[in-house]
Structures are given as structure tokens and as C-alpha cells.
Amino acid sequence: MPSSPRQTRLMLLACFLAAGIGAGVWGANLPALGRRTGMDEAQIGLVLLCFAAGAIASMNLVPRLMARFGAGRVSCLAAGLFGAGIAAVALVGQMGQAALVAGFCGVVFGALDVAMNSHAAQFEARAGRPVMSFFHAMFSAGTLAGAAGYAWRAHAGGAAPASLVAAGVLILLLAALAATCAGGVPAPQGDTTPAQARSGTGAPGLRVLALGAVAFAIFFAEGAIMDWAALYLVRILGASESTGALGYAVFAGSMLLGRLLGDRANRMFGAVRLFRLGTATVALALAAMLVAGAVAPVLAAMALCGLGMANVIPILFSAAGRLGLADGGRSMSRVLTMGYAGLLVGPAIMGFIAKAASLQVSLALVALAVAATCLGARLVRPEAG
């Protein structure tokens, strides 16, 4: 028999939490991985590129699997493979191995991201109320828990490989829980799947491309804040490295809080107003950060950035997911691909601008880009799908 709404919700929570834990552990382990394999910064960058390339490649292919097996089953399988990939990082001893494992992790993470967000959009459509922000809150919680747990084990003298294996096992257990809850979900009928989803063809509509462009700008801004705001504290304001790390924690923690409250805020204000409020908050907070000359106001601005950014991405994914209900998830995969392209190229572009002009100029351009996305707020209205 089909899974109940409660089972589907639990399955999705397990998948989002598993993805977040894996992402957090992966990021926290990079310094130890570089030290263990003797890689320099450029080589680590190539390994990260392998992860990104794998994710983007699979995001474009996974709708075919979803059309055949269903988004729920693909989510559970991808979560389990992601856990296995995280555990396999413990076996890496040289750059070539790191690149292969990173590519594999990227492929399964990209598949998991598209499938679980598509399934969440389906669940949201059936529920008839906003629920996407809470699922993304579970991803944020998993990221924080994964990174903090790894850091705690490292501080206590725990070996990095053992921590990776433990995290991989935990993700596998979450995937097993998700699969148990999804066991009764029937595979979609082939005659109800749009032809373009089955064949992998079909040009994206203007609305999908517009949503993708907005996603590119938003992910660009998120990556810039995560990677460069801490450096702004350290290099421009002269704060300590621990204070820079605190700035990142403030941003991530406020984003988690905002997502926990996001579905209620969506019901109160509506998707369009909440999107505009979020992007305006981020733009104004970045502007305030640039004119503030002290650490405390910058930390407050980063908290506002996290709150503002918290629900912008879930709202975008809900809009893409509604379009994806009609094309087997292809709209979701395209918006995600364009968004992650912004996340990947954003920090690099920021670096080039900072070198040519200044870090303040590059952050100011990010603020302008976020402010411009307000013009695309009508794309996320519920009736758009």
C-alpha cells in the first residue's frame, strides 16, 4: 500500500538530514584530507572541481531515473550511496583516489539533491501548504551537526578515517530508515510521464530559465557570504581567525533558525512577499556590513544575511518543483544546475574582483546582484506552476 503522509515526511526528513551530515563532514574533513594525501591548495581545488562536476552531470541525468523509479526511491538509493562515498574517503591516500571518490560523491549528491527536492515539492503540492523550508532546515541542521561532530572528534584526538566511517554508517542508517518509509510508494506509470522527461529532451521554458537565473544569483551570493565574509572580518577589520569562524557560524545558525520558522512565515506573508523580504534583507545587511567599521555590527549583519537567505532557496525550489510536476523533474534539475553553477563560480569571481579592485567592491556587487533578484519575485508565486 502507498506510504502515508507521515511516512513520506519522515522519509524526506531522513534524506535531507543525511545529505546535510555528509556535506558537513565532507567540508570539515578537507584540511585533514589534504594533509593525509600531501595535496596543496590547487590540488584540493581540483578535487573539489571533481565533486562539483559529478554533481552537475548527475543533476541533468537523474530525471530519467525519477521517471522510471520515482523520486522517493531515487532519493533513498542516492542517500545510501552518498553514505558509502563518505566512508570511502577514509581509504583515500593520494590525489588520484581523492579525485575519484570526490567525483563519485558528487554524482550521488547531485542525484540526491534533485530527487529529494522534487519529492518534497510533490509532497508540498499534496499537502496544500508550505513545507519546503522545514526540510531545508533539516539539511542545515545536518550540515552543522556533521561539521561540529567531526570537529569535536578531531579536537578529542579521534582519527579522521574513523570519523568518516562513523558518519558514513550514520548516513546509511538514515537511508535505510528512509527506504523503509518509502517502501510502499508505487513507481510512476510510464504512460503518465511526459515524453520530454522520458527521453531527456525538451527545451526549457522561459520561466525555468528565469528561475535558473535567479537561482544562479542567489547561490552566487550564498557562496560569496560563506567563503568571503569571514575573510572580510579578518583581513579588512583585523579580527582574529576564530572571530572569522564565528561569523560563519552566526550566518549558518541564523539560516537554520530562519528555515525552522520559514513555513509559518510563508503562510503569513506568501511566497512572493517572503522572497522579496528575504532578498531585500540580505542586500541591506551586506550594505550595512560594508559601511560598518567594527566587528560587532558585521556579526549582526551576517546574522541578518542568514535570516534573509534562509527561505529564499526553499521558495525557489518549491517554484521549480511545481513546474517539475509536469515534466518529470526536469525543471527542478535545470534550476538546481544553474544555481549550483553560481555557487561554484561565485567564490572564484569574487576573488578575481577582489584582486583587481577590493574585497569591499566585490561584496558590494554581490549586494547589488541580490537586490536585482527582487525583480524576479513574481516567478515564485504558487499559481506560477
Is there a domain that residue 197 lies in?
A: no
Given this model, what pLDDT does residue 345 score? Answer: 75
Q: What is the pLDDT of residues 26-66, one digit of tens each?
A: 888 887 888 888 988 778 878 888 888 898 889 888 988 99
Is 234 part of any domain? yes
> pLDDT tens digits for 105-152?
999 999 999 999 999 988 998 898 999 999 999 999 998 888 888 878
Residue 220 shares a structural domain with residue 368: yes
User: Is 199 inside a domain boundary?
Assistant: no
| pLDDT recorded at residue 316 | 92
Same domain for 258 and 171, yes or no, is no
Range of the domain at 254: 206-384
Task: Tell whether 242 and 377 lie within a shared domain.
Answer: yes
Question: Do 173 and 271 share a domain, yes or no?
Answer: no
98 and 230 assigned to the same domain:
no
Q: What pLDDT, on the 0 to 100 scale, is given for residue 346?
A: 73
* Number of structural domains found in the chain: 2
What pLDDT is stored for residue 1 in this prediction? 43
The per-residue pLDDT for 233 is 85
Clarify whether residues 226 and 116 are in a common domain: no
pLDDT for 265 equals 95
Q: Report the pLDDT value the prediction gives residue 56, as an integer from 0 to 100.
A: 87
179 and 39 both lie in a single domain: yes
How buried is residue 176: exposed, middle or buried, by Cβ count under 10 Å (0-12/13-18/19+)? Answer: middle
CATH assignment at residue 318: 1.20.1250.20
Question: Are 36 and 171 within one domain?
Answer: yes
Q: Are residues 141 and 175 in the same domain?
A: yes
Q: Are residues 310 and 378 in the same domain?
A: yes
Tell me what pLDDT residue 256 has.
93
Single residue among 154, 184, 214 that ends a domain in this structure = 184
155 and 230 assigned to the same domain: no
Where the chain has pLDDT below 50, the residues are: 1, 185-202, 384-385
Q: Evaluate if pTM is beyond 0.95.
A: no
C-alpha dist (Å) from residue 57 to 26, 105, 334: 19, 12, 11
**Do 154 and 244 belong together in one domain?**
no
Cell of 68: 522510471
